[in-house]
A = this chain, B = another copy of it.
Amino acid sequence: MHGRGWWHRRFTNHGIRMTQSREAIIDVLNGADGHLTAAEIYLKAHELNPAVGLTTVYRTLDILTEMGVVYKFEFGEGKARFELTGESTDRDHHHHLVCMKCKRIIDYSDMLGEERAFIEKIQAKLAERYDFEIRDHFLRFNGICGQCRNGSNNINFKED
């Protein structure tokens, strides 16, 4: 969606350097379809460039989260998951359904129009009422997926 120069400028404009490790990490995020743990990102980035270390993955993800370029999610697995925000991909903003049994994560953006209208309205009210500058929001539904419901699912997608 954006050329390499884009990221480079985006970083250096803020006094932050664009390094090879960071580039590898961003490439991984761009190539994946979301919801990656730091360890998973490390694995792929390290494959792209063996010089990349896990520590740097954590540090880079912090920066990107701070920049608003990635979302950091906690789905109750004891580790965080990351995915690019809409800003830097062609994916729509979306929300999640999380299966409490198998931990499967379903993205949905069906209700997007409706949701956005609703969220924006409520957001404006909250901002004023609580003197709060809202940066982003997370909406998540927990439940049991179809496969888990009818027992046809013994495997836990996220090894639990």
List residues of chain A with CB under 8 Å of any chain B CB: 72, 74, 76, 97, 99-100, 106, 108, 110-111, 114-115, 118, 122-123, 125-127, 129-146, 149
Contacts and interface: CB of A to CB of B under 8 A. Distances in A.
Contact of A145 (B76, B111, B131): B131
A138 B135 contact: no
Number of copies of this chain in the oligomer?
2
- A contact face: mostly helix, strand, loop, or mixed: strand
A134 B130 contact: no
A149 B118 CA distance: 25
A140 B137 contact: yes
A139 B127 CA distance: 15
A160 B117 CA distance: 34
